[in-house]
Amino acid sequence: MKYKRILLKLSGEALMGHQNHGIDPVRLNEYATEIKEIQKTGTEIAIVIGGGNIFRGVSGASKGMDRVQADYMGMLATVINGLALQSALENNDVPTRLQTAIKIEAIAEPFIKRRATRHLEKGRVVIFGSGTGNPYFTTDSAAVLRAIEINADVILKGTRVDGIYNEDPEKNKSAVKFDKLSFDEVLKKGLKIMDTTAFTLSQENKLPIIVFDMNTKGNLIRIIKGENIGTRVDL
């Protein structure tokens, strides 16, 4: 396998499936099945999920809510998604631990780097909930931060698009897909794949990012095996 330890970043919206909000059990089970397949190869898997299918802090703040309160609500939404994914994985016989940056000890472990690393070494999937635990930081930033802390080989950003394009391919059918980009090229071209804080943190720590279509069955295992799926951003 090409990667020993990965961090998989999923958006909250991805869990909606064909619904307008919430969590689609069918989509959730599809993801759990895909994750199980790579877990069986011995690849160590950590996961960060967004919360946009339930609540998005920036959206709440734009409607007059206090930004800090709204962001904490968004963090709790990621914990709900984490619990749902944990349940789906365990239903597929995948040992899983949920760790959160905010202490909610009745339902999850507090995030402790050494404990997370030990879980990974024992073959457990570790889900990191509640972002960084701080307002004003996105789950993209949380994903990069956790990936660095656990010494992941790569960040796999699962989306509904099969890579990075020069324009939005859902709006422009003539948009051109990039197979590989450097961090500098992404900045020069003004491509938006993560928020600036997350992207800069990834660049400074030489942590590659692969953007791919999570909804195409088999993509995840193909990436782990070293196939060129999606778009790779590297030095």
Question: What are the extents of the domains in the chain?
Answer: 5-234
Between 62 and 110, name the one with better pLDDT. Answer: 110
Mean pLDDT of 188-214: 94
Whether 60 shows a pLDDT value over 80: the answer reads no
Mean pLDDT of 114-124: 98
90-108 confidence digits (pLDDT tens): 999 999 999 999 999 999 9
Whether 69 shows a pLDDT value over 90: the answer reads yes
**Residue 17: band (very low, low, confident or very high) from pLDDT cuts 50, 70, 90:** confident
Residue 215, token pair as written in the block: 């909804």
Choose which CATH entry (3.40.50.300, 3.40.1160.10, 3.90.1010.10, 3.90.79.10) describes domain 5-234.
Answer: 3.40.1160.10
Mean pLDDT of 42-47: 98
How much is the pTM? Answer: 0.95
Q: What is the rounded CA–CA span in Å between residue 131 and residue 90?
A: 22
Q: Give pLDDT, residue 61.
A: 76
Residue 55, token pair as written in the block: 């609540």
